[in-house]
Amino acid sequence: MASATDQQTAQNVPQKGGVFALGNFDGVHRGHQAVLKLAIEKARGLGVPARAMTFEPHPRSVLKPDIPPFRLTPAAAKDRLLRKLGLDDVVVLPFTPGFSDLSAQDFVQRVLLGTYGAQHVVAGFDYVFGHRRSGTMAQLREWLAPQGVSVTEVTPFRDSHGEVMSSSRTRDALKAGDVALAEHILGRPWSIAGMVVKGDQRGRQLGFPTMNIPLGEYMRPRFGVYTITASPVGSARQYAGIANLGLRPTVDGKTELLEAHLFDFHQEVYGQEWEVYLCHFQRDEQSFGSLEALKQQITLDVDAARTYHASRIM
């Protein structure tokens, strides 16, 4: 019988073989989904596993640690989305300063072939890899061909207007508060997931209790009030509501936070992981002269959000 140590070692040995879809996949938008769908189709045709190969932390955060938060989907959210697409495995390579020094050719020979035994590779047309992003799709084909490993290059995925689906376009849309455009690119409403933390209870005092989620690695969209839906992570049950996303200038003005108020909801959620989906941008944040004025505005915001949700049901 194998010892516990032997079993642990076996679990840590990468599973070899299969079709690998390569990319950072931040956002897992419709362009990424096209790459991943093709990888799954290739794998099913070959009778081998379909795997996504990605990196954590995001290379940009390692190489440029002082830049503001920019992630559409931090690691846990990205992993959930990738696995929902029907992949057999998600391979996450630790991206460190040392790993960033690995040459493009060494990445192919040592990682793709040596460690993981790739049988076919799928990537977007603009995929680059290796030290200083020096590896190209042409080189990927050149280095893999002698090993009998073919490469599928996926052309840009465009919408009916000819616009390319991309992470940068999604970020631009969110910074403008255009959550409809972000949803169009992603194929789903953009969301923020995280652990619910205890706040200062001011929402409860105003009659609108909130669950508070720190923004963490998530990019900062346009600050303001949003109509939302929310659900516990992993649950299909969704609740309608409203959220303030930003600095709360009337009561704080310093701490970036997502404060979500769910309609007709009376459960304690501290310490639970929830996901909040931005459905509609209502208005920018503003400072009010009193808590009573803030309460009056929240009442109007809630009415507008209820109207929005009702119109979506009809």
- Measured CA to CA, the distance from residue 208 to residue 263 in angstroms comes to 9
Domain map (residue ranges) of the chain: 15-154, 189-313
State whether CATH 2.40.30.30 applies to domain 189-313: yes
What is the helix (H) or strand (E) element at residue 265, kind and residue range? none
pLDDT value, residue 9: 36
Given a contact cutoff of 8 angstroms between Cβ atoms, the answer to whether 40 and 154 are in contact is: no
pLDDT value, residue 249: 76
- Give yes or no for residue 1 having a pLDDT over 60: no
Q: E strands of 67-189, at which residues?
A: 89-94, 120-124, 150-154
Which residue type sits at 205?
A: Q
Of 89, 250, 91, 272, the C-alpha closest to 196 is 272
Three-point CA angle 135, 138, 144, nearest 5°: 85
- Give yes or no for residue 5 having a pLDDT over 60: no
Domains 15-154 and 189-313 share a fold: no
What are 120-166's pLDDT values in tens digits?
999 999 999 999 999 999 999 999 999 999 999 999 999 988 999 99
- Is residue 204 classed as helix, strand or coil in its secondary structure? helix
Which residue type sits at 27?
A: G
Mean pLDDT for 4-24 is 70
- Measured CA to CA, the distance from residue 83 to residue 183 in angstroms comes to 19
What is the pLDDT confidence band of residue 251, given thresholds at 50, 70 and 90?
confident
Which residues in 23-34 are b (16+ Cβ under 10 Å) and which e? bbbbbbbbbbbb
What is the pLDDT confidence band of residue 94, given thresholds at 50, 70 and 90?
very high
Three-point CA angle 181, 183, 189, nearest 5°: 140
**Count of Cβ atoms closer than 10 Å to residue 54 Cβ:** 22
Tokens of 121: 């590779």
- Give yes or no for residue 201 having a pLDDT over 80: no
Lowest mean pLDDT among 6-20, 90-104, 215-229, 298-312: 6-20
Given a contact cutoff of 8 angstroms between Cβ atoms, the answer to whether 48 and 19 are in contact is: yes
What is the pLDDT confidence band of residue 11, given thresholds at 50, 70 and 90?
very low
pLDDT value, residue 198: 87
pLDDT value, residue 4: 40
Tokens of 84: 């929902």
pLDDT value, residue 13: 61
Judging by beta carbons within 10 Å of its beta carbon (0-12, 13-18, 19+), is residue 122 exposed, middle or buried?
buried
What is the helix (H) or strand (E) element at residue 34, kind and residue range? helix 30-46
Please state the pTM of the whole predicted model: 0.92
Given a contact cutoff of 8 angstroms between Cβ atoms, the answer to whether 159 and 206 are in contact is: no
What is the pLDDT confidence band of residue 12, given thresholds at 50, 70 and 90?
low
Which residue type sits at 282?
A: Q
Fold of 15-154: Rossmann fold (3.40.50)
